[in-house]
Chains A and B, each alone.
Chain A
Amino acid sequence: MLVAWRYRPRKSLVQWFDPRAWVIFYLCFLFSTLAFWDIRFLLPFLGIALLWLFTSGLRWNEVRRPFLFIGMFVTFFAFLTFLTGRGGMELYETEHLIRRYEASFTILGWRPALDITVERAFFAVSQFARVFSIAVMTILIPYSLNPALYGITFKGLGLPDKIAYAMDLTMRFIPTFARDFQLTMDAQRARGYELEKISGGLIEQVRKLGPIFVPVTIHAIIGSEDIIDAMDLRAFGIGPRTWLEELHYQRRDYALIAIGVVILAASVVAGFAGLGNFWVPEALIRWATGG
């Protein structure tokens, strides 16, 4: 049985556009965001991502789990970067200290200390804006793309019929196999197997992953026979494929694609012009140095 993503038709900005236009815009957005470390350049991207999110018609209880997971992950790493200063060192050479906190105790002669610097703080904020923008846009995809349109969308993006249909099936299978994985886990747990408590040497630990890997994989292969038969009976691959639903670009779709391409082109030009590198406000540096 196929399990579907949590898509449903909604009156939303993202679903107002042709899925192909949305995917093209997403790719332009993704590569544009990656070109910048300057928070002034990243904030508009975060704004665009939040605009799509808040007009998507998604309810909090629908997206709570992925957002809590991604949100905690992004926040954790941004905070870790802030505490340790690791990660941003390739982007800045000097640091301007705002305040230094030292522990009142020592561990084997070493006194734990936390340096809060202008660069660390701004790098953490920039990192958060950058990754969270991409995460928001990526999370929207399964909730806003109609599964019935996956195949025709990939076909419309220029892929051959067979590859487009394989992409369509891949997206449909992912939630199904995630469910199968959970069912297999539960079944193995009932037999006393606990993935979280695998013990033994390295090779033994890897071998013990077999009771999860093998049944899920083999079950998927066996289950595919019905799909293969159904496709063969409908003469799949014999001639050019027709699709049950067809997509037609509207003016608004061309406009969205144009906006995406302009954003990407502007980002590339800005990058080549040396704009968008890591930035901290001069005033903050002067304040930190007492100037």
Chain B
Amino acid sequence: MDKRLVSVVGALVVLLAIFAIVMFGLGTTESLGPFNFSVDQATLPLRFAFVVVGVAIAFVVYFLTKEHPIWEVGTRHVVYMAIGAALYAVFSYLFNGTVFVVPSLSQVSLRPAIAIPMFFGYAFGPVVGFFTGAVGNMFGDALTGFGLSPQWSIGNGLVGFVSGLVALFGDKKKSMDTVLYVSGALAFLAAAMFFLNRGQANMLFYDVDNGIFGDQQISLFAGLSIVIGFILVAVVRFAFGQNVDIAAAVTWGMLGNILGIGFAAISDIWINGFSPAAAIVGEFLPAAGPNLIFAAILVPLLVVAYSSVQRQSGR
């Protein structure tokens, strides 16, 4: 086995070991001081299997394509990683509702900065996309002075990572149709969970007027925003069917957003002891749904502008 493969396998084994200790060891107790690692023991093996499957899928993607040039990191990638992460951090800080208040409506606050990891992942590959999302989110959080949320940084990293996997496919058109169907199925599945849990609180909503955080029932718009976002992305995909780059960027960005934010939200089942309904309906929907609106509008603008730059510079 080559050296690079050994280090990747080692990292994944360590990750699984941490999950195993938390779930099988600490998960049997109700709570340990301020930490709540409790896991429903009836479904514990199933949940751990889910973690193994998630890690295995990521590894299989890498293993099957480890000879592909998208995993190489050269000078250009290092600089793009830094630019993407810095831009994401700056935009996150400026638009997080403290410096510029981006319009929010019906319990949904909008994060235009999410377009950055989607675009950088699509344009420069999964490694750049992952670094942009993960490190950019980390510095964006740190800039506001309120510490870090590691699982959400990784989730944001996955948004860029998955967006960049488009480069693995020779036929972009075929791949984006598959991605569109998969994303659509996931979006409607999440929306169905919303209808089955209409009383669920919106965990991300802070109502300044009434001082309510995380305990107001999720609104219809917040619950259905992922379907609205999916429809917007589908419209862009078919309206710009001739421009494969725009169509592929928005569809892969959508899948990245659903899987990345989904990972972060689902991880809160273990990390914060949320119920699956609270994680999916209360966290995932109000975060991932509005992001799709930016995927559909800002990502195409960036793709078109970058294409012009490439034509002019010849690089």
- By a CB distance below 8 angstroms, the chain B residues around A162 are 73, 78
Tell whether, in the assembled complex, residue B116 and residue A217 are in contact, meaning their CB atoms are under 8 Å apart.
yes
> Closest CB-CB distance, A238 to chain B, in whole Å?
10
Do B210 and A228 touch across chains, with their CB atoms under 8 A apart? no
- Tell me if B280 is interfacial: C-beta within 8 Å of chain A: no
- Taking the complex as formed, is B13 at the interface, i.e. its CB lies under 8 A from any CB of chain A? no
Point out the residues of chain B lying under 8 angstroms from A213, CB to CB. 91, 112, 115, 298, 301-302
* A155→B264 CA distance, assembly (Å): 28
Of the candidates A66, A170, A195, A277, which one forms a contact with B100 in the assembled complex, judged by CB atoms under 8 Å apart?
Answer: A195
**Contact bitstring A202-245, B, C-beta under 8 A = 1, else 0:** 11011101100110111011101101100110001100000000
Kindly list chain A residues whose C-beta atoms are within 8 Å of the C-beta of B170: none
Dominant secondary structure at the B interface: helix
* A84 with B87, Cβ < 8 A, contacts A169-B82, A214-B305 known: no
Given contacts A213-B112, A271-B35, contact A135 B86 (CB under 8 A): no
Q: Is A174 a contact partner of B90 (Cβ separation < 8 A)?
A: yes
Residue from A70, A195, A220, A275 in contact with B145 in the complex, judged by beta carbons closer than 8 Å: A70
Tell me, in angstroms, the Cα distance from A93 to B127 when the chains sit together.
47
Interface residues of B in 203-251 (CB under 8 A from A): 208, 210-213, 215, 232
**How many angstroms from the CA of A83 to the CA of B211 in the assembled complex?**
9
Residues of B within 8 A of A231 (CB): 75, 78-79
From known contacts A30-B147, A170-B139, A217-B116, infer whether A277 and B83 are also in contact, taking CB-CB under 8 Å.
Answer: no
User: For chain B residues 105-140, which have a beta carbon within 8 Å of chain A?
Assistant: 105, 110, 112, 115-116, 119, 131, 135-136, 139
- Using an 8 Å CB-CB cutoff, how does the interface string of A63-87 with B read, 1 for contact, 0 for none? 0001001100100000011011011
Residues of A within 8 A of B148 (CB): 30
Does B103 sit at the interface, judged by CB under 8 A?
A: yes
| A232 to B75 CA separation, bound complex (whole angstroms) | 7
Instruction: Please count how many residues in chain A sit with their CB below 8 Å of the partner chain's CB atoms.
Output: 71
Interface assignment of B158: CB less than 8 Å from any CB of chain A: no
A177-B86, A220-B83 known; A228 vs B76 contact (CB < 8 Å):
yes
Contact B306 A218 (CB under 8 A): yes
Stretch binding the partner chain, chosen from A10-18, A32-40, A94-102: A32-40
Q: Closest approach, in angstroms, between the C-beta of A137 and any C-beta of chain B?
A: 9
CA distance A138 to B94 in the complex (A): 18
Chain B residue with minimal CB distance to A176?
A: B86
Hey, which chain B residues are within 8 Å of A105, CB to CB? none
B34 proximal to A (CB < 8 A): yes
B32 at the interface (CB under 8 A from A): yes
Docked complex Cα distance between A172 and B86 (Å): 8
Instruction: State whether B75 touches A134 (Cβ < 8 A).
Output: no
Q: Which chain A residues border B86 with CB–CB below 8 Å?
A: 169-171, 173-174, 176-177, 220
Asked if B142 is at the interface (CB within 8 A of a chain A CB), the reply is yes
| Contact across chains for A227 and B145 when beta carbons are under 8 A apart | no
Q: Which residues of A contact B154 (CB under 8 A)?
A: none
Give Cα distance in the complex from A170 to B146, angstroms.
Answer: 19
Q: Which of B79, B293, B301, B309 sits near A169, CB closer than 8 Å? A: B79
B83-97 interface with A by 8 A CB criterion: 83, 85-87, 89-91, 93-94
With an 8 A cutoff between CB atoms, is A178 at the interface?
yes
Q: How far is the CA of A118 from the CA of B78 in the complex (A)?
A: 53
The answer, yes or no, to whether B10 is at the interface (CB within 8 Å) is no
> Is there an interface contact between A221 and B145, defined as CB atoms closer than 8 Å?
no
| A217 in contact with B90 (CB, 8 Å) | no
Q: Shortest Cβ distance from B36 into chain A, in angstroms? A: 10
Verify A225–B313 contact, CB threshold 8 A: yes
Shortest beta-carbon distance from A130 to chain B in Å: 10
- Docked Cα-Cα span, A81 to B214, in Å, equals 13
Q: Which of A162-182 touch B at CB < 8 Å?
A: 162-163, 165-174, 176-178, 181
- The distance in angstroms between the C-alpha atoms of A213 and B73, with both chains bound, is 26
B300: nearest chain-A partner, CB-CB = A210
With A and B bound together, what is the CA distance between A221 and B84 in angstroms?
A: 9
Among A81, A196, A227, point to the contact of B79 (Cβ < 8 A): A227
Partner pick for A206 among B91, B98, B208, B293, CB 8 A cutoff = B293
* CB within 8 Å for A174 and B139 given contacts A213-B112, A271-B33: yes
Tell me, yes or no, whether A131 is within 8 Å of chain B by CB: yes
- Known interface pairs A178-B90, A213-B91, A228-B76; 10 further A-B residue pairs with C-beta atoms within 8 A, sorted by A's residue number: A35-B33, A86-B213, A165-B78, A177-B87, A202-B293, A206-B112, A218-B306, A224-B80, A271-B32, A276-B34
A-B contact pairs, 15 of them (CB 8 A): A84-B210, A84-B211, A87-B213, A135-B145, A135-B146, A181-B90, A195-B100, A202-B105, A213-B301, A217-B87, A217-B116, A218-B305, A228-B76, A237-B78, A272-B35
Which 8 A-B residue pairs are closest in the complex by CB-CB distance?
A: A169-B82, A271-B33, A84-B211, A173-B86, A135-B145, A166-B81, A170-B85, A170-B82
